[in-house]
C-alpha cells in the first residue's frame, strides 16, 4: 500500500484521500470565510496542502485557473488523487525555493503558511512580484491572542517551553510555527511590505467552533485581505 505523510501523521493513501473528501464535503468555517474573499480568475494557492481550498475555488468559478503548490510531495499526491478539475493543477515546489515561474496572478493565497516561514519579509516581497497591479493577497494564520491560545499558555505554558528543544520538526503542524501574529502586527508587516488593508475576518478552527460568534476577535484564526499598493 502507498503511504503518505500529512499533518504530522502517516496515512495509507486511500485513507488519506477518503479523509480529505470528507473535509471537502463539510469544510471548516475558516475555509468558508476565505472563499468569500477570493477574487479574480488567476489564483495561486501557495502552501495548498492537500488542495481542499484550491479545489473549492476551482469548483466555484469554472472560468478561473487555479494553481496549488506545496513543498510536501505527499500532500500534492493526495491532492492529485482527490481533486480532478479541468481548471485546477497542483505542483510540488522544492523546500527553500519560494519563487515560481508564473506571474500576473489576480489573487495569491497564503493560508496557514506565514507562521512557518523563517523570513516573512523576503517571502512577501517575492510573492508581491507574482501579483498583477491590482492583485490581492488573502492570508490566514493562527491568532496569537485567541482564547484557545491564552488558555493553553496559562495551563501548559511552562511545559510547552521545556518541550521545544525536543520537538519533532518538519511535521507541518503547530510544532513548526516560528511566529505568532495578532491582527495589528500582521497588518503592519503587510503594510511595510507594500500592501494596503482591504478587510479582515476571524474564524474558528478548534473544538470551540460552536462558540465562534461569541468569541469575536478572540477566535483562533485571523483572515486578512490586502491589495498590492
pLDDT at 27 over 50: no
**Is 48 in contact with 69 (CB distance < 8 Å)?**
yes
What fold characterizes domain 3-228? Rossmann fold (3.40.50)
3-state secondary structure string across 214-227: HHHHHCCEEEEEEE
Q: What is the pTM of this model?
A: 0.84
**DSSP SS3 for 52:** helix
pLDDT confidence band for 26 (50 / 70 / 90): very low
How confident is the model at residue 178, as a pLDDT?
87
Residue bearing the bigger pLDDT, 108 or 15? 108
Q: Where are the domains of the chain?
A: 3-228
Sheet (strand 195-203) strand order: 88-92, 65-70, 42-46, 105-111, 131-142, 221-228, 195-203
Sequence-separated (6 or more) residues with CB below 8 Å from residue 148 = 206, 208, 220
What pLDDT digit, counting tens, does each position of 184-193 carry? 999 999 999 9
pLDDT at 115 over 70: yes
How confident is the model at residue 97, as a pLDDT?
64
What pLDDT digit, counting tens, does each position of 141-185 carry? 999 988 878 887 787 767 777 777 777 776 666 767 889 999 999
The packing angle between helices 183-192 and 120-128, to 10°, is 50
Task: For residue 39, count CB atoms less than 10 angstroms from its CB and return exposed for 0-12, middle for 13-18, buried for 19 or more.
Answer: middle
Q: Which residue in this structure is represented by grid cell 491572542?
A: 145
Rounded to whole angstroms, how far apart are CA atoms 93 and 176?
18
| Dihedrals phi, psi of 67, to nearest 5 degrees | -120, 125
What pLDDT digit, counting tens, does each position of 62-79 carry? 999 999 999 889 889 999
Amino acid at each position: 500500500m502507498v503511504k503518505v505523510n500529512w499533518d504530522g501523521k502517516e496515512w495509507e493513501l486511500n485513507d488519506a484521500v477518503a479523509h480529505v473528501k470528507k473535509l471537502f464535503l463539510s469544510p471548516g468555517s475558516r475555509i468558508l470565510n476565505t472563499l468569500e474573499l477570493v477574487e479574480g480568475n488567476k489564483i495561486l494557492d501557495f502552501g495548498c496542502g492537500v488542495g481542499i481550498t484550491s479545489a473549492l475555488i476551482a469548483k466555484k468559478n469554472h472560468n478561473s485557473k487555479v494553481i496549488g503548490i506545496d513543498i510536501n510531495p505527499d500532500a500534492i499526491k493526495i491532492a492529485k488523487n482527490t481533486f480532478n478539475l479541468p481548471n485546477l493543477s497542483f505542483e510540488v515546489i522544492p523546500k527553500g525555493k519560494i519563487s515560481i515561474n508564473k506571474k500576473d496572478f489576480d489573487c495569491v493565497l497564503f493560508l496557514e503558511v506565514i507562521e512557518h516561514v523563517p523570513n516573512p519579509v523576503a517571502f512577501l516581497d517575492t510573492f508581491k512580484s507574482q501579483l498583477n497591479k491590482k492583485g490581492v493577497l488573502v492570508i490566514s494564520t493562527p491568532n496569537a491572542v485567541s482564547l484557545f491560545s491564552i488558555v493553553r499558555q496559562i495551563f501548559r505554558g511552562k511545559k510547552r517551553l521545556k518541550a521545544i528543544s525536543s520537538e519533532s520538526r518538519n511535521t507541518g503542524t503547530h510544532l513548526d510555527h516560528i511566529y505568532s501574529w495578532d491582527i495589528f502586527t500582521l497588518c503592519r508587516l503587510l503594510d511595510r511590505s507594500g500592501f494596503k488593508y482591504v478587510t479582515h475576518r476571524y474564524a474558528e478552527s478548534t473544538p470551540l467552533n460552536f462558540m465562534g460568534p461569541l468569541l469575536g476577535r478572540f477566535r483562533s484564526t485571523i483572515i486578512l485581505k490586502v491589495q498590492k499598493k
